[in-house]
Structures are given as C-alpha cells and as structure tokens.
Amino acid sequence: MSISTPQQRIRAVREEYSLRETLEGYGFSVPYLLVFAAFLVYPLAYGFWMSLHDWNALFPDRTEFVGLANYQTLLADPQFWNALGNTVYFVVLTVPFLVVLSLLLALGVNRSIKGRRVLRTLFFSPYVLTVSVVGLLWQDVFETNGLIAYFTGFVAEPVNWLIDPLLAMPAVAIATIWWTIAFNFIILLAARQNVGEQLYEAARLDGATSWRAMVDITIPQMRNPMMFVVITSFLSSFQVFGQPYIMTDGGPAGATETIVMYLYRTGFSAREFGYAAAVGYVLFLVMVAVSLVNYFVLQDDGGTSA
Amino acid sequence: MSTVRSTLNETIGIDETRLRKFGVYVAMYGAGILFFLPYWYMATQSILPRNLIFDRNPHLIPPAVTTTWYEQLFAAAPMVQWIINTIILAGGVTVVVLVIDSMIAFALTRLKWPGRRLVFVTILASFMIPAVVNLIPIYTIISSLGLLNTYIGVILPLSGGALGVFLLVQFFKDFPKELEEAAQLDGFSTVQIYAKLILPMMKPAMTALALFTFISTWNQFVLPLVLLQSESMYTLPIGLVTVRDAYATTSQPGLVMASALTASIPLLVLFLALQKHLIRAVELQGTVE
C-alpha cells in the first residue's frame, strides 16, 4: 500500500470510490465551497496581496507595489502601538471576569435555589442584544447624571466615565462584560450539569469540603469547556470594535482606540486600504500567537495540577 | 474538628449550610439585580419627560411619564424600515447557511468521495481566521463585483462560516446507516435521502443552527456598516447609531433610549419564546473543540 506508483494509486482510488457517488459528493459540496473560497479563503490571500501595495481605491492603476513598506510604517507608528496597548489592556480588563464571573454565575444557578430559572433567563438575555443597543444604553449609564453616578455619588463626585482618560476603558469593559458573559455562562452551566453527581457524593463521603470538591472535581471535570471559554473570550476581546466605536469613538485622546478601530479608521476614513490590510494581517498573527500561548499555558497547567 | 464546629454552631443556633445557602442567595440575587438594572434604566429613561431627564440623579421610579420620545423617534427615523431590512438580511443569511451547510455536511458524512477529509480539515482550519482580518479585502471584492449597498453583497460574506458545517457534521455522522440503506432499498435517490430522510430527522440541529445564525446576523455591526451606504438600506444596529449621531448636538437621552428599547424588543420577544432552543444552540457551540 505505502509503496505504490501513481498508476496503482489511481487504480486504488477507482476501486474505492464509485464515480456516481464522487460526483454527488462534489455536487453537494460545491455551493458551500464556492462561498467559502470566494469570501473566506480568497480574501485572506487577497488581503496579504493588498498589504504589499500602496493601494489606490479610486484609481486602481495608480496602485503601487511597495513590498513590506506598510508593515514598516505600521511598526513605527505610535498610534498603532497605542491601539495595540489599549486592546491588550481591554483584554486584561475583560477576560478574567468573563471567565470567573460566568463560572460563578453558572455554579450558582446550578444550585437548587428558588427562582433559578428567572436568574438564568436574566443572565442569558443580553446575548440577543445588538452591540448598538449595548453601546447606547451604557453610554447613558455612565453619564454624569446616569445610573453609575447615582450609586457612586455617595462616595465620590459624579463624573462622566467615558470622557475620563482613566475610567473610559474600564467603562467599556464593564459594558462588554454585562453583554457577553451570557455565552460563557450558558456553556459553563451546561458543562457543570454534565458532571456526574456521584463524584460529589463520593467526595462528601470522604469528608471533602465544598471548596475541595470545587477544586478537585468541578474545575478538572469542566476543563475542556473552560478552555473553550478562555480562548473564545480572548479572541472576541481582541477584536473589540462596536462598543468603543459607539460609546467613545476611541476617545478621550485615543485612550480607548482599539486595534480594529485603528484598522477601520486607516481603511475607511483615511482610505489607506493597503495599510489597513497590513493592520489586519498583524492582528491575525497576534491572535494566532495568543491562541497558541493560551493552548500551551492551559495544557501546562493541567500537567502540574494532575 | 468538624464535630466541634458543628456543635458550636448548634449551640449558637446557626446552621452552617443554611448560612452558606443564605450567602448564595444574596450573591445570586445581587447579580440578578445588577443584570436587570440596565434594562430598567433603559425603559424608565425612555418615558421620562424632558424636564426630568436631565436631573442630577436619575429617576428610577418615574414621577411622570410621556410617550413623546417614541413619537419623535418614529417620526424622525425609519425604524420600521430598518427592522424589515434586518429581517431580510438575517433571514437571507439563515436560509443560505441552512441550505449550503446541510448539503456539504451531507456530502461529508454520508457520501464517499476522494478529498473529503482534506475539505473538512480545511474548513475546520478556517476557525483560526478572525472575521475582521478579511474586512478590507471583502470590501474591495464586494465593491469590484458592484455589490456595494446591496443585501446580496452582505449575505454572501456572512454565509461562509465554518461553525454551521461543523455542527451539522457532528449530527449527520451519527445518523443510523440502516435507515439510509432501507431507504435505498425502497428506491430513494441520493437527493431524496438528503431531502426526505436526513433533513426531517435533523430538525433539532437545523433549528438550533437557524436560531444562532439569525441572531448573530441580526446583530452584525461592522460588515453592514461598511457595505451598506444609504439610510434606506441600513440595518437596525447601524440605523440606531445614526439616530444617536443626528441628535448628538442636542443630546436627547430619552429619544436614544426609546430607539434602543424599540430595537431590543423583537429579539427579546424571540428570546423569551424560544429560550430553550437558543440555550441548546449555544451549548452546541461548546462542543466545538
């Protein structure tokens, strides 16, 4: 089998597959594959091609090949580093809460408390809101005479969080946590319900406290869903766009401009398409790196605790 | 040690598990209130009269109510048109995704053809591509196809995602082979097996995928923002921001909150009606690992 001439291989394929079924297989696959190729694979390659050009959207014939110049300009642009730094800051502000809070909410709703169905509905409901609703609502919530100031008013002079350089990003992060925790919450709730109760009974007979049961049973049993939640939270936080776009427009003084906003601004305001495509590619590489680091760190963690 | 503690608790009259239970209630209901307050705030702000809405402290229980913001909103902005537009777009993507994803999932799981493993692995690998990376090239491609400011130009780029294929493959592959063979003996063609056997049996999976696709398309922001350019074509999420921007100089929180609440109602109703299916749709994604 392993040593075969091309002719032998073709004969083997002919024997293994019927022509009719092969044609049907291609026929059923083609519609999806066309869309997949045209709007996922091709843009990925085309975007890289664009990033090597000084792209002129209005006069395509004035487009010039510039090699890696866009990437050089990018790496020398303090606004790019500001946007990257802001994005990392946003990730740090959101991901831990999106993971830990959703786990706590899931464990709480899993207990036999009164009204847990209402609570589940409530925690899940922001999932169906569009980012515009979330952005507009929370923009008002953070106003000087808004909901947050109403509660902080007892201890501090009310301020508009969104025009304060130190508070603007935390405000965007809080709105994001309220909005996106729903997805993680449902995933982790399902994961918790899949952990067999007999494990907890055995632990109880052994005299384990509920804290130990959580550390020794709940967390290890929910390992894969937890990993899924961590990675998807990282990826979506890295691509944050709508919330700061709507709530702050990147302000004050660029304090909340994220990497995707920078891409949007250079692409659609400045019309630097080649440059913006390069920003997209850098973001892509950063995200692949983050996914790999995540994967190995989480793997490693399992090794030490097991 | 624990017996000492429990006797101690018994003598003071506090049961440790009851105390813990009380703590859980406080934490969970506290969180519940925090999740509920923004909704309540949105609703009350949208019915507060102008003379109260700028008060230093928000009125969580409105002393007086008005419908003026809703009247102004519907007079100033084509909200109904935007809702219809969003339904067209979300419905269009949902139909396309259900058809093409179920077809290829059928081919990948029920038919034997050379290259199918490679195709599946390639589709899976595309999970690694973040959507925004393709934003600029997709704009350029759609523009050169002459499809800017059309729904088909937004529907196509939103229909190529790998998630639906992956989900359906998980279900289709568990379909019992005997049923398929029985149908073949009855003279079913491949197309009939797909349309009359597999699809009806896979209704739960298809429903979950349909719901998930509809909602995520309804809420799409950045792609419609760059691809749709005239007000009459806008989707709800884009339209809302233009309403806010049009009134930014005068700042009309009542009107903006009325627009936000109006925009959330269709999906919140859908959510309350189909919550079970939707939970299922989200849970399924947790199996993508």
Fold held by B75-285: MetI-like fold (1.10.3720)
Q: For testing the chain B interface, which of A23, A28, A41, A178 should be mutated: the one with the most B CBs within 10 Å?
A: A28
pTM of the predicted protein model: 0.89
- Number of compact structural domains in chain A: 2
In chain B, % of residues over pLDDT 90: 59
pLDDT at B2 over 70: no
| pLDDT, position A240 | 95
Residue contact B32–A119, C-beta within 8 A: yes
pLDDT at B247 over 90: no
A145–chain B Cβ distance below 8 A for any pair = yes
Q: A231 exposed, middle or buried (CB, 10 Å; 0-12, 13-18, 19+)?
A: middle
A179 & A133 share domain: yes
A156 & A271 share domain: yes
A169 & A36 share domain: no
Q: Which of B24, B34, B157 sits opposite A39 (nearest CB)?
A: B157
Residue contact A276–B286, C-beta within 8 A: no
Instruction: Give ∠ CA B206-B207-B208 in degrees, rounded to 5.
Output: 90
| pLDDT, position A303 | 42
Q: A74 exposed, middle or buried (CB, 10 Å; 0-12, 13-18, 19+)?
A: buried
DSSP labels for B65-92? ---HHHHHHHHHS-HHHHHHHHHHHHHH
* Count of C-beta atoms within a 10 Å radius of residue B30: 10
A186–chain B Cβ distance below 8 A for any pair = yes
A61 & A91 share domain: no
A159 & A62 share domain: no
> Which range scores top for mean pLDDT: A189-203, B96-110, B126-140?
B96-110
Q: Chain B residues with CB inside 8 Å of A119's CB? A: 28-29, 31-32
A177 & A223 share domain: yes
Would A50 be classed as within a structural domain? yes
Q: For testing the chain B interface, which of A15, A39, A123 should be mutated: the one with the most B CBs within 10 Å?
A: A39
DSSP labels for A282-293? HHHHHHHHHHHH
A78 & A53 share domain: no
Can you give the CATH number for the domain in which A195 is found? 1.10.3720.10
CA distance A109 to A103: 10
A159 & A205 share domain: yes
Distances B6 to A116, A202, B11, B12, B273 between C-alpha atoms, Å: 29, 21, 9, 10, 47
A215 & A123 share domain: yes
A135 & A59 share domain: no
Residue contact B114–A13, C-beta within 8 A: yes
Q: Which residues contact B244 (CB under 8 A, 6 or more apart)?
A: A136, A246, B256, B259
Would A261 be classed as within a structural domain? yes
Q: Is B15 left (phi over 0), alpha (psi -120 to 50) or beta?
A: beta
Q: Which residues contact A48 (CB under 8 A, 6 or more apart)?
A: A277, A281
Q: Please compute the mean of the pLDDT values over residues B146-160 and round it to a whole number.
A: 96
The complex's ipTM? 0.87
DSSP labels for B92-123? HHHHHHHHHHHHHHHHHHH---TTHHHHHHHH
A33–chain B Cβ distance below 8 A for any pair = yes
Would A223 be classed as within a structural domain? yes
Q: Which of A119, A136, A225 sits opposite B240 (nearest CB)?
A: A136
Contact at 8 Å (CB) between A255 and A86?
yes
> Encoding tokens for residue B101?
């994803």
A48 & A77 share domain: no
A153 & A209 share domain: yes
The nearest alpha carbon in chain A to B241 belongs to: A132
Tens digits of pLDDT across chain A (306 residues): 456 687 887 777 777 788 889 999 999 999 999 999 999 999 999 999 999 999 887 777 788 889 899 999 999 999 999 999 999 999 999 999 999 999 999 999 988 888 889 999 999 999 999 999 999 999 999 988 888 888 877 777 788 899 999 999 999 999 999 999 999 999 999 888 888 888 888 888 888 887 888 888 888 888 888 888 998 899 899 999 999 999 999 989 999 999 999 999 999 988 899 999 999 999 999 888 888 888 788 765 544 443
Would A4 be classed as within a structural domain? no
Would A147 be classed as within a structural domain? yes
Q: Chain B residues with CB inside 8 Å of A118's CB? A: 32
Q: Which residues contact A64 (CB under 8 A, 6 or more apart)?
A: A53, A54, A56
Residue contact A242–B238, C-beta within 8 A: no
> Encoding tokens for residue A20?
């009719």
A59–chain B Cβ distance below 8 A for any pair = no
Contact at 8 Å (CB) between B258 and B73?
yes
Q: Which of A18, A241, A288 sits opposite B132 (nearest CB)?
A: A241
Would A235 be classed as within a structural domain? yes
CA distance A261 to A241: 6
Give me the residue spans of the domains in chain B.
2-72, 75-285
The nearest alpha carbon in chain B to A101 belongs to: B31
Range of the domain at A103: 73-305
Would A63 be classed as within a structural domain? yes
Report H helices in B159-252.
Answer: 163-172, 177-185, 190-192, 199-201, 203-218, 222-227, 236-246
Residue contact B136–A137, C-beta within 8 A: no
CA distance A303 to A292: 17
How many residues in total does chain A contain? 306
